[in-house]
Amino acid sequence: MHKVVISGTGVFTPELSISNAELVEAFNSYATRQNEIHADEIAAGTRAPMTMSAEDFIVRASGIERRYVLDKSGILDPAVMHPVLPERSDDALSVMAEMAVKAATAALAKAGRTAGDVDAVICAASNHERPYPAIAIEVQEALGIQGFGFDMNVACSSATFGIQAAADMIRSGSARAILMVNPEICSAHLEWRDRDCHFIFGDVCTAVLLERDDLATAPDRFEIISTRCLTQFSNNIRNNNGFLRRTREGHMTDRRDMLFRQEGRKVFKQVVPIVSDLILTHLADENVAPAHLSRLWLHQANKGMNDLIGSKVLGREPEAGEQPNILQDYANTSSAGSIIAFSKYSDDLAPGSLGVICSFGAGYSVGSVIVKKV
């Protein structure tokens, strides 16, 4: 069995960003217009008026201050309220593949590798822009990688589950190096017309190169000590869109359940103990004391949730730098969040430092990866 290391990471960040102020202005314009259109129903008590959003409400609820998106014009247009991404021909590189190639190129450069050193591509993301052919195979073709590729989806835990899948294949000898990419176009499956969630998501793509330790040449790399995954079914985070939609009468209309929706308070209450228990059990099984951890790179969904998980795992409030947050700038980027944090806040660690990459989300799903700086 081969030792596996993370030898390179890359992050593609869109050029456009939306501040909370811009978002609130657009949402409140939309809400005001809807209240005017339905004024008679609201006056009759048969329809509740839409509640206005506010910058302080968003920061207090999530810790998010801005988010990067592929398109902001449609999102900020009260008459549209979703990104506008033009259709591409079948012969053109897809949006997800384009994002993935950019992040993957950065990861390969950091690892000092080329496409010829890679045997497979895993595209792990919460939503894929088409069922087939696999985005991973398109990325493989675009980069010139010989081998194989496949897509996988475990919602916000896709990246950590992807790391486990790649690590297992490399350990067993079925691949030397695997590129795992996470192109997340979260803006396209977010309901921007819903006050309770219109601020949550942003777009980004991350990439992780995993390879055999004895073949790796990157001076800064992290050995994967152990991985652990857990799932527990819940409807509290759900998206009902899919190919069966057209087989059901009325389902092709504008339906709220065809986009991201969640019971936020239930998710917070239920997920925090699940994640905390999994990390602590994982550490105990590997004889790693929480006090020996130098860093936690957690899923970037909600600052309050991360703070509480960090406190439960470490047994105290995390100190500055022990649990880096990036969601204030990126918002929730689904599976990519913990990888952004890892990519941006790992180079400074000394050799021998231990850390945990952990993501969690719909399913429920939780993925934990214990790593050590080589």
Segments making up each domain of the chain, as ranges? 222-373
Three-state DSSP class for 221? coil
List residues with catalytic annotation: 156
pLDDT at 323: 96
Phi first, then psi, for residue 354 (nearest 5°) are -105, 145
Which of the four pLDDT bands, split at 50, 70 and 90, describes residue 167?
A: very high
Q: What is the distance in angstroms between the CA of the first residue and the CA of the last residue of the chain?
A: 18
SS3 per-residue string spanning 249-293: CCCCCCCHHHCCEECHHHHHHHHHHHHHHHHHHHHHHCCCCHHHE
Q: Is the model's pLDDT at 177 over the cut of 90?
A: yes
In the CATH scheme, what architecture does the domain 222-373 have? Answer: 3-Layer(aba) Sandwich (3.40)
pLDDT at 58: 97
| 130-159 pLDDT per residue, tens | 999 999 999 999 999 999 999 999 999 999
Three-state DSSP class for 62? helix
Which of the four pLDDT bands, split at 50, 70 and 90, describes residue 37?
A: very high
Which of the four pLDDT bands, split at 50, 70 and 90, describes residue 316?
A: very high
| 84-139 pLDDT per residue, tens | 999 999 999 999 999 999 999 999 999 999 999 999 999 999 999 999 999 999 99
Residue bearing tokens 């989806």: 153
- 62 burial (CB, 10 Å; 0-12 / 13-18 / 19+) is buried
| 193-222 pLDDT per residue, tens | 999 999 999 999 999 999 999 999 999 999
- If you average pLDDT over residues 258-264, what whole number do you get? 93
Which of the four pLDDT bands, split at 50, 70 and 90, describes residue 320?
A: confident
* Closest by CA position to 346, among listed 320, 317, 315, 323: 323
pLDDT at 369: 98
Q: Is the model's pLDDT at 354 over the cut of 90?
A: yes
Q: Give pTM, 2 decimals.
A: 0.96
